[in-house]
Amino acid sequence: MFSQQSSFLRGDRKQQVRSHWIFQLIMVICNIGGFIAVYVNKDLKGKHHLTSWHGLIGLITAISCLVQAAAGIFLLYPNLIPKFITLAKAKIYHSTYGLLNYLLVVVVVNLGLWSNWANRNISTPFWYMCVACIDVLALVVMNQVTSNVLPRLRTSRR
């Protein structure tokens, strides 16, 4: 969203921030809706919940994303930030935790590709392409976030 190299939204910073929190609000709604859909579907089929790594880490990721979205409210309204944390550090923490959440999502999607369903429905070459696309995209996002956050981290320590 904020990358100078590949942002699909051009405009001033205020417009990017507004778009970011709108997309994140949509993510929270989809997160909750997806969790409810999986829960209800498993109940209807009489299956147990959270029996795989995909399900367990998926739940942890869903909760972590909700916490991150709630923490983002502090950046939207900086006067709510506790006095012992500067705005600059809060932005760095938010970026870093957002990257951690993104990587958790990548792990969950990769674990989903190891499921029985994926083995039955995805041919081997296409399966490898899916894993490669997900993981390459994760590397690109990691590079963009760290190249944006690390310089700010170095200047905030001085």
pLDDT 10s per residue in the chain (158 long)?
666 655 666 677 788 888 889 999 999 999 999 999 999 999 999 999 989 999 999 999 999 999 999 999 999 999 988 888 898 889 889 999 999 999 999 999 999 999 888 999 999 999 999 999 999 999 998 988 888 777 776 676 65
Task: Look at residue 16 in the predicted model and tell me its pLDDT.
Answer: 83
Task: Look at residue 6 in the predicted model and tell me its pLDDT.
Answer: 57
Task: Look at residue 8 in the predicted model and tell me its pLDDT.
Answer: 66
Q: Which two tokens stand for residue 16?
A: 């990017």
C-alpha distance from residue 41 to each of 34, 47, 57, 98, 110 (Å): 10, 9, 18, 29, 21
Task: Look at residue 3 in the predicted model and tell me its pLDDT.
Answer: 61
Task: Look at residue 147 in the predicted model and tell me its pLDDT.
Answer: 84
The CA-based angle 9-72-36, given to 5 degrees, is 90
Task: Establish how many alpha carbons lie within 13 A of residue 150's alpha carbon, considering only the half-sphere containing its beta carbon.
Answer: 6
pTM listed for this prediction? 0.84
Task: Look at residue 34 in the predicted model and tell me its pLDDT.
Answer: 92
Task: Look at residue 148 in the predicted model and tell me its pLDDT.
Answer: 79
Measured from the Cβ of residue 48, the count of other Cβ atoms closer than 10 Å reads 8
Task: Look at residue 149 in the predicted model and tell me its pLDDT.
Answer: 76
Q: Is 72 exposed, middle or buried (0-12, 13-18, 19+ CB in 10 A)?
A: buried
